[in-house]
Amino acid sequence: MTERKWTARAAWLVRRLGLRHALRTAAAAVATLALVTALALPQGYWAVVTAVIVMQANLGGSIWASWTRLAGTAIGAVAGALAAHWGGQSFLAVGLAVFATLSVCAVISRLRESSRVAGITAVIVILAGHPGTSALTMGMDRFIEISIGIVTALGVSAVVLPSRASRALEHGLATVFDDAASYFALVVEGRLHDDYVERQVFAIKDRILRTLARCRELRRESVIEGRGGDDGTLRSMLLYRGERLFEHILAMDHVAAEWRGQGLHRHLPEELTVLEGAVAAMLRGLAAHMRRQGALPETDTLSAAVGKAREKLAAMRRERAPAAYDLSEVMHFFSFMHGMLSCAADAGEIVRRIRAYEQEA
């Protein structure tokens, strides 16, 4: 095996096993421990715990986790300090501090993720106090320790094997287009050959849903990283088009799952087969291009397939072929065809947008 293949295989193994994230998290923990040891912080382990918690798979995720944890910690520290000042370590003080902390986090939607951290901080400030140490000092100590952990984690995330949400988003979108191609082909084949494979369809549909949800998170994190501008606009367009594609195929899926047997589709099996292959090939070529594994696909074959399908539909109307079927069959057929043509239009538009962007860049 050549050196290049060994390097590619090692890189794939690192990504597959999450070794990069593990190494970066370990580096953040060690760096934080060294810092709190040098500063002689009495409870510096809170900084180390924080560094491990806020270290995410990419810089944008780390920034988001850091901001929410820092804000939650501040709220919990203030609530805990006030409750301890007025109520000591009583049951009432703990209850009021936790209630107030979680209420504030619930009202501020962006802090809901940090509500548990905020509540824990409030409890620690009250119950972990020492004689002669004021609640305000306890709260300030916890806030400083956690801030040290956050800052160290962010520094390591930006320097040690940095990973960007924008690049992860591109890979996620490529996966969406790849899976959309498979989903599209499964649905069309299921309708053409009356062989709808429910288990396979469900699995790929679930995978696309989860990938799209992760892509939305990555889009937010890429904005936090400051990766906006024209690149950000292009990625937003790709995510929007990916969601539209999925919606079109879902509508086709409903028809394929519920409407079996002979129908209007038997009048144009060749055109539908060619259109299916053209759309699937376009989406797979697009995914490969986004992974830097191939050139941007041409739209000529797709345009020709769409043209032939539209010509056949027009001929069917002239021959009044739909008149031989009941209204339900006609509605299902044209709904299915609308979905196929919409997928073709979206695939072509995505390629044209990317080509225009790359030519201007």
Q: Which residue has the higher pLDDT, 20 or 96?
A: 96
Q: Please give the mean pLDDT across all residues of the chain.
A: 83
Q: Which residue has the higher pLDDT, 208 or 106?
A: 208
Residue 361 is given by DSSP the state -
**In this model, does residue 316 exceed pLDDT 70?**
yes
pLDDT of residue 349: 93
Q: Which residue has the higher pLDDT, 361 or 321?
A: 321
For 45-94, write each residue's pLDDT tens digit: 878 888 887 777 666 666 766 777 788 888 888 888 888 878 877 888 88
Domains of the chain in start order, with CATH, are 20-159 (no CATH), 166-360 (1.20.58)
Residue 247 token pair: 């919606």
pLDDT of residue 17: 46
Q: How confident is the model at residue 359 (pLDDT cuts 50, 70, 90)?
A: confident
pLDDT of residue 361: 64
Residue 175 Cα to chain centre, angstroms: 11
Q: Which residue has the higher pLDDT, 125 or 322?
A: 322
Nearest-angstrom CA–CA distance, 81 and 277: 66
Residue 299 is given by DSSP the state S
**In this model, does residue 38 exceed pLDDT 50?**
yes
**In this model, does residue 44 exceed pLDDT 50?**
yes
Residue 322 is given by DSSP the state G
Nearest-angstrom CA–CA distance, 124 and 240: 44
Q: How confident is the model at residue 157 (pLDDT cuts 50, 70, 90)?
A: confident
Residue 315 token pair: 């001929």
Contact 176, 283 (CB under 8 A): no
Residue 157 token pair: 């995330």
**In this model, does residue 269 exceed pLDDT 50?**
yes
Is the CA virtual torsion 139, 142, 148, 150 positive or negative?
A: negative
Is the CA virtual torsion 344, 349, 352, 353 positive or negative?
A: negative
DSSP codes joined into one string, 139-194 = HHHHHHHHHHHHHHHHHHHHHSS---HHHHHHHHHHHHHHHHHHHHHHHHHHHHTT
Local structure of 112: helix, strand or coil: helix
Burial 88-123 (b: 16+ CB within 10 A, else e): eeeeebbebbbebbbebbeeeeebeebbebbbbbbb
Contact 278, 305 (CB under 8 A): yes
Half-sphere exposure of 144 (CA within 13 A, CB side): 14
CA distance readout (Å), 275 to 26, 175, 246, 280, 337: 51, 21, 17, 8, 10
- Going by C-alpha positions, the residue among 244, 215, 229, 287 that lies closest to residue 60 is 215
Is the CA virtual torsion 89, 91, 92, 93 positive or negative?
A: positive
Block residue for tokens 């399908």: 309
Nearest-angstrom CA–CA distance, 94 and 43: 21
Nearest-angstrom CA–CA distance, 313 and 182: 25
- Going by C-alpha positions, the residue among 300, 278, 282 that lies closest to residue 290 is 282
pLDDT of residue 61: 65
